Chains A and B, each alone.
Chain A
């Protein structure tokens, strides 16, 4: 049988990096192909070449036997390719209908026929049973629904091939289940699916075939039947990866972080955290489990001085920490790995070296008497780039040139190398590949063993379970239970997270 999509000998270089090196992949009709690889392995570049957003240097892309002209999105769409992008490509201020019809609007002459457009969207959403309100404004909708709109946008064109670029990165577990169901249904109706993900259990759950990239090269093809998660991880990273974390018993010391009666409001001025009290000891990892949106973000921001504390106190090593003063809190020995690395963790336009010294650029040895010492900075940056395996041609490149996982490594490298007393890590491995997850986990544990108090907030229950010495379950802005990390019951925590008592 002729393959639906045939990528042959595709290569693409960016300044300093060979993103894709002589890659050939086939996707058949109705087949789900998962594209796996570490951050910066070239997966996104590859699918963008297929969709015409990137123009490959060499190689051909054929769909249903026809060659598509490279670097032409309109041509890719004409040939029946649809794509759901990692960063949603929606216009926030426009309605669902307007977003879906953009680019191929139902029209009479120059005019958009709004009624026909609306009916089409309703019919489309019925046909694939993907429920959306056609008149809602996109920015008012939750991310899960926004992604549904992206999928509808792609499906509208009667596509033969659907590309999904890390579709599950921002979704809640329930939304992910729904997404996987949609993917299965589409494949059953004959659409070929090519999707990128970091989550190995998703691959095991839906993929028919798995293609693994490493450093821009194709390293192998396998299927969930032939391998398991450990095997996939090993193919991706090129060495043995320990998915379960190895750690010794905690040597718990005095209280390092003490939160007493803390109340915080969210952006809409509603109570997000109410009368919250918690102690984290030096030498332990305390994990906060909870469904996102139960006050974790506001809690972390209040601890780190980024959000006003309405009530209560936060004490670090026995001293009161200042409210609304992130620098002051940091100087007391608190490191913070923020949830949103783009917004709170990095200055994208600065170099990697500057980002690595962002909160100590004015201190010795990086500056002396108000004059910066670039040699010291460069030496330090060079060391961290090697130590934390940040994939970049040079530490002089801007942080924006890095892939998501490598950006995260920059933040982690900066925050974990300052011998902090308290480390607040919020979603430290979001959007990061398995190799790097293993590395970041090891770093957190060695920080703990070095005597730091680690407060870990994560939406991934597995991460909490494997790292935490104690687990605090948060629901509705309060702690509902504190459980010992050893032998904690997943089901039980899941029920607590959902707000069910016992």
Chain B
């Protein structure tokens, strides 16, 4: 009965959003396209950051260090690109940083069975401290990752302009990566094992699946994605490194993951919705809606997150083993 209700809600929400989109598309195509496109532009990094959370939590590791992972990766990515004058090298270093950071997290939580929240906090504090301390003003990168159109898809009616033009590589990459993660999670052997490890590690262990290996690998794949996002934010979206540039987006991503019920496609939809709220608030500022103070308009996406989480909170059910280190039963 409960499962059925949730589906009805999701369906209604989807229909309502589609209706609004189609209506405004017909009413004013250009503005609608640009709002949707910037929703995608804002939303995709968050969607990918939410994938980091999904990879970790589905295998039973709560990772609140996404924020720190992105911060560190953006930092190393940007300064290495600046030093080597090569943004490809910068991006690769960012990904590597993500993997290494998550490796540290994985060692702490999975091997040494440390409290996962504390481990994540350590990563965040470390990242914030290191990057502020080593920060140097005035560095530049030779060029940033370009924004481009996808040749054929960009001409598709309705969705073409909004999704397939004037986006950066991370947006297009995300459109491939997120469905791939979904397929991995629900259709492959690795996905089945990952979910089993996240729900009841004992069942996987007794079936001959190594809980530690599955968790380590998933957390590190998550780290690679986190590094990718951090790197692209500094090397494309913003084009520079500024202190604390993540500004809580790692935590927003976790909220979106919960809203999407630990499902990659769900989190993606949530992130795009959040991106749209952000795009809308920007649009409202451009149009100079002056009778509402600016602060309230910039608040919009966050209010949206809080409301959505509060509304859906009662019904969510995280992976049962998330947050608990696995120890074989004794005696």
Contact with B along A66-98 (1 / 0, CB 8 A): 000000011001000001010101111110001
Q: Is the CB of B189 within 8 A of A110?
A: yes
Contact for B328 among A54, A87, A90, A91, CB less than 8 A = A54
Q: Is the CB of B206 within 8 A of A403?
A: no
- Near B by CB (< 8 A), chain A positions 11-45 give 14, 17, 19, 40, 44-45
Query: Interface stretch among A2-10, A101-109, A191-199, A436-444?
Result: A101-109
Q: Is the CB of B207 within 8 A of A104?
A: yes
Given known contacts A19-B331, A92-B320, A110 and B203 CB-to-CB distance under 8 angstroms: no
Does A357 touch B at the CB level, under 8 Å?
no
Q: Which residues of B contact A101 (CB under 8 A)?
A: 192
Q: Is the CB of A73 within 8 A of B205?
A: yes
Query: Interface stretch among B9-17, B46-54, B194-202?
Result: B194-202
- Near A by CB (< 8 A), chain B positions 202-226 give 202-209
A19 to B208 CA separation, bound complex (whole angstroms): 24
**Total count of chain A residues near the partner, CB < 8 A:** 36
Q: Is the CB of A102 within 8 A of B328?
A: no
Does A99 touch B at the CB level, under 8 Å?
yes
Q: Which residues of B contact A111 (CB under 8 A)?
A: 187-189
Contact for B203 among A53, A99, A112, A403, CB less than 8 A = A99
Does A214 touch B at the CB level, under 8 Å?
no
A107 to B329 CA separation, bound complex (whole angstroms): 30
Given known contacts A19-B331, A73-B205, A112 and B188 CB-to-CB distance under 8 angstroms: yes
Q: Which residues of A contact B105 (CB under 8 A)?
A: none
Q: Is the CB of B331 within 8 A of A44?
A: yes
Given known contacts A89-B203, A98-B192, A112-B187, A103 and B331 CB-to-CB distance under 8 angstroms: no
Does A153 touch B at the CB level, under 8 Å?
yes
Chain B nearest Cβ from A258, distance in angstroms: 39
Does B25 touch A at the CB level, under 8 Å?
no
Q: Is the CB of A103 within 8 A of B195?
A: no
Chain A nearest Cβ from B214, distance in angstroms: 11
Contact for A403 among B192, B195, B320, B331, CB less than 8 A = B331
Contact for A53 among B196, B199, B328, CB less than 8 A = B328
Chain B nearest Cβ from A402, distance in angstroms: 9
Contact with A along B312-331 (1 / 0, CB 8 A): 00000100100000001111
Does B304 touch A at the CB level, under 8 Å?
no
Q: Is the CB of B208 within 8 A of A14?
A: no
Q: Is the CB of B199 within 8 A of A89?
A: no
Does B193 touch A at the CB level, under 8 Å?
yes
Chain A nearest Cβ from B138, distance in angstroms: 47
**Total count of chain B residues near the partner, CB < 8 A:** 24
Contact for B330 among A14, A94, A98, CB less than 8 A = A14
Given known contacts A17-B331, A73-B208, A403-B331, A102 and B203 CB-to-CB distance under 8 angstroms: yes
Q: Is the CB of B331 within 8 A of A102?
A: no
Does B190 touch A at the CB level, under 8 Å?
yes
Q: Is the CB of B189 within 8 A of A90?
A: no
Q: Is the CB of B199 within 8 A of A91?
A: yes
Residue in A51, A73, A92 with the greatest tally of chain B CB atoms within 10 Å: A73
Q: Is the CB of A90 within 8 A of B188?
A: no
Q: Which residues of A contact B202 (CB under 8 A)?
A: 85, 87, 89
A45 to B208 CA separation, bound complex (whole angstroms): 18
Q: Is the CB of B188 within 8 A of A102?
A: no
With both beta carbons as reference points, the residue of chain A lying nearest to B209 in the complex is identified as A103
Chain A nearest Cβ from B14, distance in angstroms: 24
Q: Which residues of A contact B195 (CB under 8 A)?
A: 91, 94
With both beta carbons as reference points, the residue of chain B lying nearest to A109 in the complex is identified as B188
Residues of chain A touching chain B, judged by Cβ–Cβ distance below 8 Å, are 14, 17, 19, 40, 44-45, 48, 51, 53-54, 73-74, 77, 83, 85, 87, 89-94, 98-99, 101-105, 107, 110-112, 153, 401, 403
3 A-B pairs with least C-beta separation: A103-B207, A74-B208, A89-B203
A102-B196, A401-B330 are known; give 14 further A-B pairs, CB within 8 A: A14-B330, A17-B331, A19-B331, A53-B205, A53-B206, A53-B329, A54-B330, A77-B207, A89-B207, A91-B196, A98-B196, A102-B193, A103-B207, A104-B207
